[in-house]
Every structure is written in structure tokens, then in C-alpha cells.
Amino acid sequence: MEKDCADEKMKEPETSDARLRAQKSRLAKTLRSVREVNAALEEALADCSRKRMHADLLSMELEQVFNCCTDPMWVVREDGAVVRINKAMADLLGRSREEVVGNSCVDVLGEHCSPDGACPVKSCKRAGMLHTYEVNRPFASGGSRYFLVSTASLMTIDGLSGFVAQYKDITPQKQAKQIMEQANAELERLAGIDGLTGVSNRRTFDNALREEWNRLSREKRNLSVVLCDIDHFKGYNDTLGHQSGDDCLRKVARALEASCGRPADLVARYGGEEFVFLLPETPPEGGMRVAEAAREKVAGLALHHPRSPVCAYVTMSFGVAGAVCRPEDCPDALLEKADVGLYQAKKQGRNRVCAA
């Protein structure tokens, strides 16, 4: 028994050493883990620092782009408050940044903020919402400028939804478009005008005849046509020359136009010395009155005609035709009847009005 106790006393130092070694081993592992964690934390902190520096540089770059953009821009919060503006926007508004930021965009721009139903404030909560529209902004100094406004939804710096808007000046393009439209309208007008006399040409008359016939056919209303030409105009030209003939045609055309009392009435040069009247909502007897008034106005010009067997002055013969317009009928038939009336006027001695 004494021997066993002695053996146990000899084992106690060995057991203590083993425990110490185990503790040292555990401490060494813990230290390595702490060092590894510290190294990972340092790397994470360095990575965060790099990312923050990159974000700061990117923010500075975007801020420079925002401020240096020549197009006016601003950022507006969902409640309509202006968050930031660039220099171009301040110049456009004629105010400083301090006078604009924090105020409502509606108060700043008033009724010119956006067209009806296109206000970006109403739709800025919808992610990815893109919208473009045009505004015409007047200035206190006079005049106005057209802008193409492009808006896009975004999250503002305070974490609220909002939008960024860019105002691109399109005044030159708008003015060029208006000039082109005016030029096209003028070309269209000139295309329907007889170059010599200034009254409508045959093309305009043909189109107007079809349109009026279709319109009046729906209600079965009256339409009259008057066909007329200058008596013995060839002799006038042969004696006095073509320049005098052209002058005669111009004066006659003006006299014929003056005999029409309504804006809807149309006088056109039908060809050569022949003219035609289109008289919407006019019965045949009304067409006769217009034709007689025109004949008297031409006679009143007292244009000397050295080769006319009818009169010493320029005269005209008129043929009148009228009808109640019906869809099943053809407007060309009305013109043919007026031509028959003109033939009768010539056959009866000219310088007169005859109805078909």
C-alpha cells in the first residue's frame, strides 16, 4: 500500500505538466484565432475604407457632373421640396441655390412646372419611372423658351423617394419646326393658287367640288356652279399682245372675286381665259344673281377690246347650273350642265348669263 502511495506521488508532477502543456496548447490556438480574427477585421476595415473612399470619389465625380452639366437639373423630393439644383438651373430660374433649395418646385416654377397630368411628383414613388414632356417657359424679360424635360425616379440623400429632372433647351429645334410648318403651309397654299391671276387653280376647284358635294349630300343641300370665259379673248391677245392679255386676266379675276359675297364661295381659273365659280348652299337662281353681278363688274372695268364684235370693251359669257346634292349623283354632271349653259350664252350672242 505504501508502494502505491509512492507511485501516485511520482505521477502527480507528470499530470501537472500535461495539464500545463494542454493549457499552453489551448492558449496558443486561441491566440492564433484572435490574430486571425484581428487580421480579418483589419482587412475588412481596410476594404470598407477603400469602398468608402471610392464612394466619396464617385459622389464627388457625380456632384461635379451634376454641377457642370450645361442643361438645368434639379432633384426634388416626393413632397415637392427641392433638394438640390445645379448652376444651370439657378441661372434658368434667375435665383441662387439658397433661394431655391428647400422650397416647393410648384412655388418655384408655378403653372410651368409640368403639363396637366404629367407632374413627376405624383409618380416619383414608382421605381424606375421615366417620363418626358415639353414645357414653354416665359421670362419676365420677354419671350419664352421651349424645354424638353426628362425625369427619372430616385432615392434622395435623406432616404425618401423623389426624382431628378433635366431641362434641355429645344427652342432652336422648335422654332425651326415652326418655320418649316409655316413654309409647308405656304407651299400648300401656293400649290392651290393660279400663278398668273392669284385666284384658286383647277386643282383646288376640283378638290373643293368633291368635298362640298360630299358634305352637302349628307343633308341634300343646294350647290351651284358658274362657268364663264372672256368673249373673243384670242382677238384681244392677237391685237394687244400677251402682256396686255395677262393684265386683262388679272383684272378680270379680281372683278370675279369681288362679285362673291361669302367666304365659302370659290372662284378659280379653270384654264386659259375660262373661270369657274363654286357656290355652296346656293340654288340656281342664286347662282344666276352671282353670275349677273360678275358680268356687270367685268363690264364696269371698261377694258378696251379692239377686236370684239360684241362690245367695245371686254365682256364675259356665263353658264349656270344648280342641283340638290345626292350621294348617288356625280358632281361632274353639274359642271357639264354649266358648260351647256355657257354654250347657250355664246350661241345667243355672248355677254350674257344662261342657265342650263
Instruction: Give me the active site residues, please.
Output: 273
DSSP state of 200: B
CA 353 to chain centre: 49
Query: Could you tell me the three cell numbers for 140?
Result: 419676365
Query: Could you tell me the three cell numbers for 20?
Result: 500545463
Instruction: Provide the angle, in degrees to the nearest 10, between the axes of the packed helices 284-300 and 242-258.
Output: 130
Nearest residue to 77 (alpha-carbon basis) of 99, 97, 106, 118: 106
Q: What is the largest CA-CA distance in the chain?
A: 176
* Angle 302-303-306 from CA coordinates, rounded to 5°: 120
DSSP state of 318: E
CA distances (Å), origin 40, targets 30, 34, 43, 45, 245: 15, 10, 5, 8, 105
DSSP state of 156: -
The answer to whether the beta carbons of residues 203 and 269 sit under 8 Å apart is no
Phi then psi for residue 197, to 5 deg, are -95, -20
Query: Could you tell me the three cell numbers for 146?
Result: 421651349
The answer to whether the beta carbons of residues 230 and 248 sit under 8 Å apart is yes
Return d(Cα 254, Cα 250) in angstroms, integer.
6
Q: How many CB atoms lie within 10 A of CB 109?
A: 17
From the CA atom positions of the chain, what is the Rg in Å? 47
